[in-house]
């Protein structure tokens, strides 16, 4: 957001004017918010490695780079069976899923502000 000002300088009856533009930057003060509180997906056993299972989605009310969201799996991913793309929120399998080994998985996805590294 930008605010434009006109500034006046005076000296013994002489005046000068200048414009000043002030850019107001958004703070990173809003946490991300998931569109759904629960995501469910069903997949057949034997799906190939890296098969798209489900995509989670969160929004952040901050603007610009402060509004970018990064995804990760917070808990419940014993054995690193799944992976989540940090930018898209797409959940994929790291292994070929076997119904006889486990018929259901429950875990908590996480969204956070995207951290930029310089």
Q: What is the pLDDT of residues 13-69, one digit of tens each?
A: 999 999 999 887 777 788 888 888 888 888 888 877 788 999 999 999 888 888 889
Q: What is the pTM of this model?
A: 0.71
Query: Domain limits of the chain?
Result: 28-113
Whole-Å CA distances, 115 to 8, 45, 72, 118: 41, 35, 13, 10
**Please, which residues have CB within 8 angstroms of residue 83's CB and are 6 or more apart in sequence?**
73, 91, 92, 93, 94
Rounded Cα distance between 80 and 94, Å, is 7
Rounded Cα distance between 62 and 13, Å, is 47
Helices (H) and strands (E) in the chain, counts: 0, 9
24 burial via Cβ count (<10 Å: 0-12, 13-18, 19+):
exposed
Fold of 28-113: Immunoglobulin-like (2.60.40)
pLDDT tens-digit readout, 75-99: 888 888 899 999 999 999 998 888 8
CB count within 10 Å of CB 117 equals 3
């Amino acid at each position: 957001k930008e605010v434009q000002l006109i500034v006046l300088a005076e000296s013994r009856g002489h005046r000068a004017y200048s414009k000043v533009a002030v850019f107001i930057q958004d703070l990173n003060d809003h946490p991300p918010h998931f569109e759904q509180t629960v995501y469910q997906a069903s997949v057949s056993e034997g799906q190939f490695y890296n098969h798209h299972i489900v995509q989670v989605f969160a929004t952040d009310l901050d603007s610009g780079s402060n509004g970018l969201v990064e995804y990760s799996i917070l808990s419940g991913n014993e054995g690193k069976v799944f992976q989540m793309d940090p930018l898209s929120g797409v959940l994929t399998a790291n292994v070929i899923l076997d119904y006889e080994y486990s018929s259901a998985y429950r875990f908590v996805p996480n969204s956070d502000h995207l951290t930029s590294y310089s």
